[in-house]
Amino acid sequence: MGILDCRNLTKKYGADTALDNVNLELIPGRIVGLLGPNGSGKTTLIKLCMNLLKPTSGEILIDGMKPGPYTKSLVSYLPDRDILENWMNVLQLLDFYTDFYQDFDAGRAVNMLSSLGIDERMPLRKMSKGTREKVQLIMTMSRRAKVYLLDEPIAGVDPAARDYILRTIISNYDPEAMVLISTHLIADVESVLDEAIFIRQGRVDLFDSCDSIRERTGLTLDEYFRRTYHFE
C-alpha cells in the first residue's frame, strides 16, 4: 500500500466527468508530477485528497485512511489560489500554523521569511500578490509532513520566483515524504521530478518514472507532453 492510493476514483459535476476511474499508488520518498493540460482533473484530484470535494465513486486512502482530520495532519497542502486570512500578519499566521499543525517547524519558516526579507509584522492584506504566494509556500513547506500536495505552485509567477519556489520545495521536503506537484508548466519542473502522472480528461494516460518515460520515448517530459497533447 502506498502513502496515497486512489481506487476506481471518479468525480462528476452533474453530467461532466472530472475524474474517471483513476487508480494510483504513490509511495513515499518520491517527487511526483501531476501533469496535464488545463481542465484535465489535476486540481480535482488534489481537492479530493484534502476532502474539499467528495468522490462520486471509488475512494482515496492516505496512509491507509480516508481523508479526514488524521490525514490532514499528515498532508501539507498548497492550493492553487490565495487563501491567506487578510486580518492576520505573518507572526499571527506562524502562531496559527503552530497551533494547528504539530509538524510545523516555525524556525524553518522564520529563516525562509527572513531570507526573503519579509517583515513578520506586516499585515498580509498589505502584501503584494507575489509575496503572499511566497508566504503561502513557506508555510506549506515548513511542515514536516508525510505528503505534500502542491497545486500549480509555479503558475502565474515570474521565472525568478519559479526558481525560488522549486529550490524551496527541493531543499525543504522530508526525503521520506511524497511530494505531488500539479502543473502544466512541465519544462520548469521536469528536472526535480522522480515520477510523472499524465492526466487527460480525467483519465490517467501514463504513470511511470521520468527516466523510464525518457528512455522509452526518447523525449523529454515536456516534449512528450507537447507531442501527446497538441491540439489538432
Partner 1 sequence: MFGKVFKYEMKAVRRILLPLYGAMILVALLFGLTTSMTTDFSGVGEGLPVIVDIAEIILSMLFFTGLTACGVITFVVLIRRFYSDFLGSEGYLQLALPVTTNVHLAARTLTAFLWTLLSGVTALLSLAVLVFIFSFEIQDLTGFFRSILDAVRSLEIPPLSMLLLILSLLLSCLSGIAHLYASIAIGSLWSGHRMIGSVLAYIGTGFVWSTLNGFLGAAFDNSSDFLPFHISGIPFSLEYSVLGAMIALALIQFILYYLIAWLILDKALNLD
* Candidate residues 8, 57, 70, 115; the one interacting with partner 1 per rule CB under 8 A: 70
If one asks whether residue 72 binds partner 1 (CB under 8 A), the answer comes out as: yes
CA-based torsion, 33, 35, 38, 42: positive or negative: negative
SS3 content of the chain, % helix, strand, coil (to 5): 40, 30, 35
> Rounded distance, CA 163 to CA 192, Å?
11
In terms of CB distance, is 81 or 216 closer to partner 1?
Answer: 81
DSSP 67: S
Determine if 206 is a binding residue for partner 1 (CB under 8 A).
no
Told to check if 69 binds partner 1 by CB under 8 A, we report yes
Could you tell me whether strands 203-209 and 195-200 are parallel, antiparallel, or unpaired per DSSP bridges? antiparallel
Q: Considering the complex, state which of residue 85 and residue 158 has its C-beta at the smaller distance from partner 1.
A: 85
Please identify, among the stretches 32-40, 91-99, 189-197, 211-219, the one whose residues bind partner 1 according to the rule CB under 8 A: 91-99
**Beta carbon nearer to partner 1, 81 or 227:** 81
Q: 92 or 201: whose CB is closer to partner 1?
A: 92
Distance CA 93, CA 135 (A): 9
Report the alpha-carbon distance of residue 66 to residue 32 in Å, rounded.
Answer: 21
Q: Is 107 in the site for partner 1 (CB under 8 A)?
A: no
Q: Of the two residues 83 and 187, which places its CB atom closer to partner 1 in the complex?
A: 83
- Cβ at position 185, least distance to partner 1 in Å: 21
At residue 160, the 3 state secondary structure works out as helix
Amino acid at site 109? A
Task: Give CA–CA dist 219/213, Å, rounded.
Answer: 8
| Contact string 21-50 vs partner 1 (x = CB under 8 A) | --------------------------x--x
Least distance (Å) between residue 197 CB and partner 1: 22
Three cell numbers at 124?
A: 498580509
Measure the CA–CA gap between 60 and 7, rounded to whole angstroms. Answer: 6
Q: Does 77 bind partner 1 (CB under 8 A)?
A: yes
Nearer to partner 1, 21 or 73 (CB): 73
List residues bridging with 19 in a β-sheet. Answer: 11
| Residues found near partner 1 in the complex (CB under 8 A) | 13, 47, 50-54, 68-70, 72-73, 75, 77, 79, 81-85, 87, 92, 96, 99-101
